[in-house]
Amino acid sequence: DTIEKKKEDFLQQNEDASFKYCQAIMKQLSEPLKKSISEKTFSVHGGHELYLQAKRKVELDYKLVPRKGVK
């Protein structure tokens, strides 16, 4: 029973650490996209496609980050 409780605590700690790490990575990777949005970079003809490209880049960069853990 004690071992099972420790295992659950350990798994929860891993999930929490993974969530915080992933959240920080996403914040860092999406910063240029947020800046472009606030500077109205995409408010031009064809801007929606530019936005989709920038969004895809954030997603691809995130997938390349190692050791994201369970979250």
CA distance 37 to 55: 11
What is the share, in percent, of the chain residues with pLDDT greater than 90? Answer: 92
Query: pLDDT tens, 30-60?
Result: 999 999 999 999 999 999 999 999 999 999 9
Does an H or E element contain 2, and which? helix 2-38
Weakest-pLDDT range from 22-26, 33-37, 65-69: 65-69
Residue (of 12, 52, 13, 5) closest to 33 by Cα position: 52
Output the CA torsion 61→21→29→53 (10° steps).
50
Flag whether 69 is in a domain: no
Name the domain count of the chain: 1
Q: What is the pLDDT of residue 1?
A: 82
Q: Domain for residue 70, yes or no?
A: no
Which residue, among 70, 57, 58, 67, has the nearest Cα to 29 in the 3D structure?
58
pLDDT of res. 69: 83
- Asked whether residue 7 carries a pLDDT value surpassing 90, the answer given is yes
* Range(s) of the domain holding residue 33: 3-64
